[in-house]
Amino acid sequence: DIVMTQSPDSLAVSLGERATINCKSSQSVLYSSNNKNYFAWYQQKPGQPPKVLIYWASTRESGVPDRFSGSGSGTDFTLTISSLQAEDVAVYYCQQYYSTPLTFGGGTKVEIK
Protein backbone atom coordinates (compact mmCIF):
# COMPACT_ATOMS: atom_id res chain seq x y z
CA ASP A 1 0.00 0.00 0.00
CA ILE A 2 1.13 3.55 -0.68
CA VAL A 3 1.30 5.52 2.55
CA MET A 4 0.57 9.24 2.34
CA THR A 5 2.15 11.39 5.03
CA GLN A 6 0.99 14.98 5.42
CA SER A 7 2.68 17.76 7.31
CA PRO A 8 2.03 19.67 9.40
CA ASP A 9 -0.97 18.22 11.23
CA SER A 10 -2.25 21.75 11.73
CA LEU A 11 -1.23 25.30 11.01
CA ALA A 12 -2.47 28.76 11.88
CA VAL A 13 -1.95 31.49 9.33
CA SER A 14 -2.89 35.15 9.35
CA LEU A 15 -5.48 36.37 6.88
CA GLY A 16 -3.83 37.25 3.60
CA GLU A 17 -0.71 35.23 4.35
CA ARG A 18 0.53 32.11 2.61
CA ALA A 19 -0.29 28.60 3.81
CA THR A 20 1.75 25.62 2.69
CA ILE A 21 0.83 21.98 3.20
CA ASN A 22 3.09 19.09 2.30
CA CYS A 23 2.35 15.49 1.39
CA LYS A 24 4.83 12.70 0.85
CA SER A 25 3.99 9.33 -0.67
CA SER A 26 5.87 6.17 0.26
CA GLN A 27 6.44 5.41 -3.40
CA SER A 28 6.25 7.39 -6.61
CA VAL A 29 2.80 8.13 -7.99
CA LEU A 30 4.22 9.34 -11.30
CA TYR A 31 3.13 7.09 -14.14
CA SER A 32 5.99 7.11 -16.61
CA SER A 33 3.95 6.21 -19.71
CA ASN A 34 1.97 9.46 -19.60
CA ASN A 35 4.12 11.55 -17.22
CA LYS A 36 1.15 12.19 -14.94
CA ASN A 37 1.17 12.23 -11.16
CA TYR A 38 -1.86 10.34 -9.86
CA PHE A 39 -2.37 12.71 -6.96
CA ALA A 40 -5.15 14.98 -5.70
CA TRP A 41 -5.89 17.52 -2.95
CA TYR A 42 -9.25 17.92 -1.18
CA GLN A 43 -10.73 20.49 1.15
CA GLN A 44 -13.25 19.47 3.82
CA LYS A 45 -15.19 21.96 5.87
CA PRO A 46 -17.05 20.91 9.05
CA GLY A 47 -20.20 18.93 8.35
CA GLN A 48 -19.51 18.77 4.63
CA PRO A 49 -18.10 16.13 2.29
CA PRO A 50 -14.66 16.71 0.83
CA LYS A 51 -14.31 18.84 -2.26
CA VAL A 52 -11.60 18.28 -4.85
CA LEU A 53 -9.29 21.25 -5.31
CA ILE A 54 -6.41 19.88 -7.38
CA TYR A 55 -5.91 16.73 -9.44
CA TRP A 56 -3.01 15.40 -11.51
CA ALA A 57 -0.97 17.14 -8.77
CA SER A 58 -1.31 20.62 -10.28
CA THR A 59 -4.58 20.92 -12.25
CA ARG A 60 -7.06 23.15 -10.49
CA GLU A 61 -10.65 21.94 -10.49
CA SER A 62 -13.13 24.21 -12.24
CA GLY A 63 -14.39 26.91 -9.92
CA VAL A 64 -11.56 26.63 -7.42
CA PRO A 65 -10.02 30.05 -6.70
CA ASP A 66 -6.58 30.59 -8.20
CA ARG A 67 -5.08 31.25 -4.77
CA PHE A 68 -4.97 27.44 -4.48
CA SER A 69 -2.12 25.80 -6.33
CA GLY A 70 -0.54 22.35 -6.34
CA SER A 71 3.03 21.41 -7.14
CA GLY A 72 5.43 18.53 -6.89
CA SER A 73 6.12 15.24 -8.61
CA GLY A 74 7.00 11.65 -7.81
CA THR A 75 6.77 11.41 -4.03
CA ASP A 76 6.70 15.01 -2.78
CA PHE A 77 3.80 17.37 -3.22
CA THR A 78 2.71 20.76 -1.93
CA LEU A 79 -0.60 22.60 -1.69
CA THR A 80 -0.21 26.35 -1.43
CA ILE A 81 -2.87 28.86 -0.50
CA SER A 82 -1.29 32.10 -1.61
CA SER A 83 -3.43 34.48 0.43
CA LEU A 84 -5.51 32.82 3.13
CA GLN A 85 -9.15 33.84 3.32
CA ALA A 86 -11.56 33.18 6.17
CA GLU A 87 -13.50 30.70 4.05
CA ASP A 88 -10.37 28.57 3.62
CA VAL A 89 -10.56 27.34 7.21
CA ALA A 90 -10.87 23.59 6.71
CA VAL A 91 -9.06 20.28 6.81
CA TYR A 92 -7.05 19.47 3.71
CA TYR A 93 -6.31 15.94 2.51
CA CYS A 94 -4.02 14.53 -0.14
CA GLN A 95 -4.86 11.34 -2.04
CA GLN A 96 -3.04 9.04 -4.41
CA TYR A 97 -4.90 7.25 -7.16
CA TYR A 98 -1.89 5.54 -8.67
CA SER A 99 -2.87 2.16 -7.26
CA THR A 100 -5.41 0.44 -5.06
CA PRO A 101 -5.97 0.64 -2.23
CA LEU A 102 -6.51 4.33 -2.84
CA THR A 103 -5.04 6.14 0.12
CA PHE A 104 -5.36 9.52 1.78
CA GLY A 105 -3.08 11.54 3.97
CA GLY A 106 -4.05 12.08 7.57
CA GLY A 107 -5.22 15.64 6.98
CA THR A 108 -3.98 19.12 7.81
CA LYS A 109 -6.19 21.50 9.74
CA VAL A 110 -5.86 25.11 8.63
CA GLU A 111 -6.96 27.85 11.02
CA ILE A 112 -6.74 31.62 11.21
CA LYS A 113 -4.04 33.05 13.45
Positions touching another protein (CB under 8 A) are 38, 40, 42, 44, 48-52, 55, 61, 93, 95, 97, 100-107
Shortest approach of another protein to residue 97 CB, angstroms?
4
Q: For another protein, give the closer residue by CB, 50 or 84.
A: 50
Shortest approach of another protein to residue 16 CB, angstroms?
28
Q: For another protein, give the closer residue by CB, 44 or 78.
A: 44
> CB atoms < 10 A from the CB of 93, how many?
22
CB-CB contact of 11 with 107 (8 Å): no
Shortest approach of another protein to residue 27 CB, angstroms?
17
Q: For another protein, give the closer residue by CB, 17 or 111.
A: 111
CB-CB contact of 103 with 3 (8 Å): yes
Q: CA angle, 33 as apex, 24 and 103 as ends, to 5°?
A: 30
Shortest approach of another protein to residue 25 CB, angstroms?
14
Q: For another protein, give the closer residue by CB, 16 or 49.
A: 49
Distance (Å, rounded) from C-alpha 109 to C-alpha 95? 16
